[in-house]
Structure 1
């Protein structure tokens, strides 16, 4: 835990999300009282930590917390793993229960429950949207990734999916294709800035409801995100919109295995509700 200079009580906490093991999942910085920090200070904290994102609670109105997210390079509208990390940090301090986060993307309810010795947080996304990507932009994305078009799974048409942040979803034809990730950082970053993408969600289907995913994140200043809650929500919306899964389903996404930081994200789709629920455990680091 690090104390922020000039901001009493504003400790920098470190949590991992989507794993109960501090060595797994996706690390995030969490500041539960960032009311005294300006944008430059929050960006500096995120850059110093070097995690894909850090979360800052900048205010509270009743039960609703205002939350902001910064990567080492820029502010992002929504971050799922930092939301989970923050919710678990609050639950450790105040006890499990219901929370409401006000994000730049909209209102995100979160419920934290205790399962034995573990805390599990479930966020409910904003209403998602799924749109097509132009052939030229897809060609550029594949060139930046160094993926031949033949390596795509034809059952998973490329789309841009949004559930708080925009992600390009690409289906890998094989697990080997997914495991081999060596891309042109600057070229993919440029395309993602132009398309306003947060990550590229690369997915391989192991079984009807089990997927393995990876998320290049050059716009955030890191090569790859270990466990991406916002992309998991976007993927759930994508899979349902294209009828790849039932309207009501529970999906398991494994992420981080190829990075040595395995995590598990649970995606729940409910009939009649367009929003997507993403849940996972978390743990304090250090």
Structure 2
């Protein structure tokens, strides 16, 4: 791919395609990955992301001297949706880490993002690469009742379809997400919303996605993430929202401080993915892990 910038110049960047949170290229969440974006301008990165049409793409550059002392395992990473740059993206982080591991081997990486420094560790088991990112310090905040009502109106959800045990909150672990818990799996599965209305609310609240959840058991959840601000109806697997949800669940006491949560996402889109969220007692940071795989292209 050699996209043109707004100025008409052509970029020689190699654009890779990987899926995150699945070892099956047909599952999880696809992301574009550019491992050497040093020569790209902002408009070129946005053009690549828009042409791919994935919810996000990751663009890496190796900083001089590196965060890792010039080890070749440290990178500055920027993330673009088809419509705009976003401060952090979990699934594109996993995709980029897996792409790097295929070239330089498993091990530790350091990503400098707009949201902060994100360590990533890649392991390999039986030929499957798995990346674990450690979030920036999260927070959980309240949300005004009128904003919850507006979100529910845009979703077409009556308030009675919410789970009272998991109240609405805004959660952050690199990006802001509004967490809304459905009272049933059927409610979560039936997602058809007012794109423009939800997009306007999300811009006003500086949200990246809505994290819609249904609790299947003590540590197992099904989740969906509308993403109109990125120009995408729904994100198939959302690592940043998973990290934020981990912080939310811990803050509300919905799970123990030392927990491993399993999040199922993408089933309703035909792209099933599996996200593992680890909480450690005394450590505010959230760890999110999942498998990744290259998406074959016709030329492969």
Report TM bin, short chain.
over 0.9
Aligned to 1:197: 207
Match of 1:112 among 122, 125, 137: 122
Contact 1:214–1:255 under 8 Å retained in 2: yes
Q: Does 1:161 align with 2:163?
A: no
Match of 1:15 among 18, 41, 51: 18
What is the deviation of 1:71?
A: 0.2
Q: TM-score, normalised by structure 1?
A: 0.98
Aligned to 1:235: 245
For residues 1-286 of structure 1, the aligned pairs below 5 Å read 2=1, 7-8=11-12, 10-60=13-63, 61=66, 62=70, 63-286=73-296
Q: What SS class does the counterpart of residue 173 from structure 1 fall into?
A: coil
Contact 1:43–1:74 under 8 Å retained in 2: yes
In the aligned structure 2, how far is the partner of 1:12 from the partner of 1:87?
A: 15
In the aligned structure 2, how far is the partner of 1:122 from the partner of 1:209?
A: 19
In the aligned structure 2, how far is the partner of 1:262 from the partner of 1:64?
A: 30
Contact 1:209–1:245 under 8 Å retained in 2: yes
Contact 1:4–1:11 under 8 Å retained in 2: no
5+ residue gaps, structure 1: none
In the aligned structure 2, how far is the partner of 1:123 from the partner of 1:176?
A: 31
In the aligned structure 1, how far is the partner of 2:182 from the partner of 2:148?
A: 14
What is the deviation of 1:4?
A: 5.9
Aligned-residue CA RMSD (Å): 1.0
In the aligned structure 1, how far is the partner of 2:177 from the partner of 2:255?
A: 19
In the aligned structure 2, how far is the partner of 1:260 from the partner of 1:284?
A: 18
Contact 2:3–2:47 under 8 Å retained in 1: no
Contact 1:210–1:252 under 8 Å retained in 2: yes
What is the deviation of 1:201?
A: 0.3
What is the deviation of 1:58?
A: 2.7
In the aligned structure 2, how far is the partner of 1:138 from the partner of 1:16?
A: 32
5+ residue gaps, structure 2: 5-9
Contact 1:133–1:159 under 8 Å retained in 2: yes
Q: What SS class does the counterpart of residue 267 from structure 1 fall into?
A: strand
What is the deviation of 1:64?
A: 2.2
In the aligned structure 1, how far is the partner of 2:128 from the partner of 2:221?
A: 24
What is the deviation of 1:117?
A: 1.2
Contact 1:110–1:123 under 8 Å retained in 2: yes
Aligned residues: 284
In the aligned structure 1, how far is the partner of 2:202 from the partner of 2:107?
A: 36
Q: TM-score, normalised by structure 2?
A: 0.93
Contact 1:4–1:12 under 8 Å retained in 2: no
